[in-house]
Structure 1
């Protein structure tokens, strides 16, 4: 969706849902929510979010407990974590920072990708969209932040502006018009590097379409593209073929991308081809492999570590950081993220004014902040039957911690804890949609 809208200037809103439509358990929902949440934040050009579709199904419907046949309403620890994450989205800024890894590798997509969604057709299979994932996952698993490029947007100059190497295949989609090929050929001739993967043997190559009607007699749409580029690749062979076209370069490998991921170590030739294209032809720099992605947006650090990657090494973030996936909001000296895990952290070293009292993280929405001399007051509002968890930055250790409900009744916090190293106070209490007034004095 980012690649679909970015060249057009349209506003993009990301969705994450703490509950899936599939019937799973709370543990599964939590793992997938963390992964999806991290994924959306790894796109630093977007800061608009739909955070909770159908809130009633999240808070009022029971789902299975992990490793159990019994069901329960949302566990308190998960609702607190979810609210911390949702409220943090109000403060995560746009950023010009890039996700760690080699930039500028794109994979071409098109709306016709869904036309061939089938288990088997004329003995041809593309299980689980493997022809698409065959182009992307060998790179993603090696820490390359692959972009997607929509062929429908090729007429916009911004679409290919930052792309150094473009990967494409017609094993799983087809061009809707010959103009797509003219746009690609123009880009290559000006210095672009194109990688084509495909045996062109799926039955959809022969459907009655523009490339084989009205005077055209191409057996496959790629033949039209190759003609415009002035190249004649061999029809078979698993070795990469390299061609020059104007100032640019074209690589052709006669394998459908599904073979890269459905066969063990099937991606070796593909990765060698991408490396050569990126380093030698596009001259885009060193293409290095790793098993992680990292991005900083303001004081927020995002980490995702790949399983099935180049190593099983964890990614370590030096602290002090607040772990925003932990409902207790602990301050950590360092955070270790293992393969298959993600992390959402508040980097306390990025706080610009350490003398200004501020709620850094909270499972509630913060209103009516007042800073007066040696006191800091605010009102915290959150859903009923949930637990609020807050980490507050203060100039000094508070001598006074007062919590008051709407009626004026004093509330005893469930837990408080002062971290002297970072000058942050942890407070936990029940949430109230009418608000809990917090007064801190030092």
Structure 2
């Protein structure tokens, strides 16, 4: 639990100046925003021992000096993202803060702003949320970019599927271009002027969420840029509570959605040297939920993220000031209140535990087949209704779900073709992972970890034909590909490689869908449904639209049955379908579990102890934990984590623990955290203490403690001092020390 801050395992972002009340004592802090206070804020956080990064928006911000022409003498309001009605798409209205079209001119302006941050000595810069809304693409600047990129006149994105797909592809390109130029130029500047290797990261929502919310972003394209060092996976309750449809029922499924979101982001960087931080948020941008609601959904996202052991770095909170100083609806409906003390203590326990998740020993309960659902960046490109007269759904960002529903736009948020493939498996305990289709052509053997892949081109398209050569080889080598689709998607008819310059080898005609080209590489006839052996592997074609797998129980059962039949026919397969109603993983001494609702059983999951419940602010040692459907747990296995020779060792603390010193008569340490906040810590201890005290600014007070004989651990109860730290002294008797 004792970390070097330079490892940057946990951090947070904050736009406010340093304040002891939300000094979380993580490894790094991302100072947010470039303004006249930036340099002072950087200095303050650095003086408190933090590794300091900078975060700033790259799609929106207070760019009024640029928009009004104060920067270069030209106004740039035509670079605001605009919908078909001529209305700007805005992030804020007072002052007006539009989302921007990332033109070359805009990139130069952002570069000069960032240069100031480089001069301030930050070690890394995060360019947040490169977002272009699906209902945008009508401004004059975008029309010019269209003409330059496609060498043809602009077409209204809503006029046809082809126009929408081309508009969205251009949007992704424009943000890729601006990020490459920004990062490359600033890295060169930092190295030349300061001999400093500057790092750049892109905080971004998941591909699943951007597709569902109808936003276009570069996503996997950034992997190809040497100037980008990694990502922050901006996944939190606000994204994961977006309703989806399973077995015909539309509702929030926070855990399941978060599981898939974190999964696709882990997959994004798998096999690369790029860093990924997983984000959690104890509250969210919508300020209208109760503290109980925030907590329940937060714990779901934490558990979902920890079930993906390929990532062990975390942004533990955006905006800790709004968490620890904000007021939100009380659980009794009597008004608004600050964070309940027990929830605050739990948050700090979770945050510091996250810093210790890089564990060598990982055990996943259950022998399940390695199943993936393929998803591509192009899923973002076909999220506008294809009818020219269809209403414009507008912009959804998770902050007003009730208002969006009242407007009758709920169905436009559906991403049922994808969830129809993923949720029927996930709900039966199969650890299905979204697999980044675009990476198939980037990395050799990218698909090697998977034995079964589900694919549909009814909600996305392969942007390059060579993807199919890699898929065909994977099947030949023993993989099982299940294709779900009926070729009914109108986007099959866009101008693309399968119907533009590619012709079937057997018929010398253009392919009507990319599926036809894929099946040709697999040696299958165009209309060959059912299960077929291909080399050492299998192809199973289920000729239905994947939405049908989400719209009813029979549809979900049909998908599950197709996967079962495919597994049974795999050559040399030791995999079996083992349906269960929970997920459980062990990362070192940590046990993470989640029990599913709408699954195969209503029975509780029983986890034997002794374990410490890390979601419990009192850190009780439990001999057994029982989880009902819909519940999650983060536990510490007392037996597995016990140090050799019963030395003093930390189990968990809602503080940063430093300077642990052990003597013959006890031990002492320094606990750091938000000022005057109630905190707890549990330590392995070879002897029962006889006294515990804390020292804050030379003032010594008696500290509460509880001894657990069976586990030989002691629980300490204390407050962080007024200066964000307190020295804790634990004494045991001299006779014990001699013994």
Q: Considering the TM-score relative to the shorter chain, is it more than 0.5?
A: yes
Equivalent in the alignment of 2:635: 345
Equivalent in the alignment of 1:4: 268
Matched, 1:108 2:374: yes
Q: 1:308 aligns with which of 587, 591, 598?
A: 598
Cα distance in structure 1, aligned partners of 2:445 and 2:578: 26
> CA shift at 1:160, angstroms?
0.8
Equivalent residues of 1:26, 1:65 under 8 A apart = yes
Aligned positions of 1:339-418 closer than 5 A: 339-350=629-640, 351-353=642-644, 355-406=646-697, 408-413=698-703, 415-418=704-707
Q: 2:420 aligns with which of 110, 134, 138?
A: 134
Matched, 1:420 2:709: yes
> CA shift at 1:200, angstroms?
1.7
Matched, 1:186 2:477: no
Cα distance in structure 1, aligned partners of 2:545 and 2:363: 31
Equivalent residues of 1:45, 1:95 under 8 A apart = no
Helix, strand or coil for the counterpart of 2:646?
Answer: coil
Which stretch has the larger CA shift, 63-72 or 297-306?
Answer: 63-72
Cα distance in structure 2, aligned partners of 1:294 and 1:120: 42
Deviations for 1:198-221, whole angstroms, at most 9, x for unmatched residues? 112121111121111125422111
Helix, strand or coil for the counterpart of 1:265?
Answer: helix
Equivalent in the alignment of 1:252: 541
1:191 and 1:18, CA in 2 relative to 1: closer, same or farther beyond 3 A? same
Deviations for 1:91-118, whole angstroms, at most 9, x for unmatched residues? 2233452433414111111101111224
> CA shift at 1:49, angstroms?
1.2
Q: 2:607 aligns with which of 317, 336, 350?
A: 317
TM-score by length of 1: 0.93
How many residue pairs get aligned? The number is 435
> CA shift at 1:119, angstroms?
6.5
Q: 1:228 aligns with which of 511, 514, 521?
A: 521
Helix, strand or coil for the counterpart of 1:310?
Answer: coil
Large movers: runs of 4+ above 6 Å? none
Structure 2: which 5+ residue stretches go unaligned? 1-264, 391-410, 504-509, 733-739
Aligned positions of 1:199-218 closer than 5 A: 199-216=486-503, 217-218=510-511
1:129 and 1:120, CA in 2 relative to 1: closer, same or farther beyond 3 A? farther
Equivalent in the alignment of 2:720: 431
Equivalent residues of 1:44, 1:96 under 8 A apart = no
Structure 1: which 5+ residue stretches go unaligned? none
Which stretch has the larger CA shift, 376-385 or 339-348?
Answer: 376-385
Q: 1:157 aligns with which of 424, 441, 444?
A: 444
Which stretch has the larger CA shift, 320-329 or 253-262?
Answer: 253-262
Which stretch has the larger CA shift, 341-350 or 28-37?
Answer: 28-37
Cα distance in structure 2, aligned partners of 1:410 and 1:229: 75
> CA shift at 1:149, angstroms?
1.6
1:69 and 1:286, CA in 2 relative to 1: closer, same or farther beyond 3 A? same
Equivalent residues of 2:369, 2:576 under 8 A apart = no
Matched, 1:48 2:48: no
1:395 and 1:96, CA in 2 relative to 1: closer, same or farther beyond 3 A? closer
Helix, strand or coil for the counterpart of 2:275?
Answer: coil
> CA shift at 1:127, angstroms?
5.3
1:90 and 1:288, CA in 2 relative to 1: closer, same or farther beyond 3 A? same
1:130 and 1:354, CA in 2 relative to 1: closer, same or farther beyond 3 A? farther
1:322 and 1:305, CA in 2 relative to 1: closer, same or farther beyond 3 A? same
1:437 and 1:234, CA in 2 relative to 1: closer, same or farther beyond 3 A? same
Q: 1:441 aligns with which of 712, 731, 737?
A: 731
Which stretch has the larger CA shift, 387-396 or 68-77?
Answer: 68-77
> CA shift at 1:120, angstroms?
7.5
Aligned positions of 1:7-26 closer than 5 A: 7-23=271-287, 24-26=289-291
Equivalent residues of 1:95, 1:298 under 8 A apart = yes
| Root-mean-square deviation (Å) | 1.9
> CA shift at 1:21, angstroms?
1.5
Aligned positions of 1:275-286 closer than 5 A: 275-281=564-570, 283-286=573-576
Cα distance in structure 1, aligned partners of 2:464 and 2:646: 61
Cα distance in structure 2, aligned partners of 1:401 and 1:298: 30
Equivalent in the alignment of 2:342: 77
> CA shift at 1:7, angstroms?
2.3
> CA shift at 1:399, angstroms?
0.9
Which stretch has the larger CA shift, 244-253 or 327-336?
Answer: 244-253
> CA shift at 1:402, angstroms?
1.5
1:194 and 1:215, CA in 2 relative to 1: closer, same or farther beyond 3 A? closer
Helix, strand or coil for the counterpart of 1:183?
Answer: helix
Equivalent in the alignment of 1:29: 294
Deviations for 1:146-196, whole angstroms, at most 9, x for unmatched residues? 122212111312411111011101111011011111111121122221000
Which stretch has the larger CA shift, 211-220 or 56-65?
Answer: 211-220
Helix, strand or coil for the counterpart of 1:288?
Answer: coil
1:67 and 1:114, CA in 2 relative to 1: closer, same or farther beyond 3 A? farther
1:127 and 1:383, CA in 2 relative to 1: closer, same or farther beyond 3 A? closer
Helix, strand or coil for the counterpart of 1:428?
Answer: strand
> CA shift at 1:69, angstroms?
5.8
Higher relative contact order, structure no. (Cα contacts within 8 Å, ≥ 6 residues apart): 1
Which stretch has the larger CA shift, 61-70 or 184-193?
Answer: 61-70
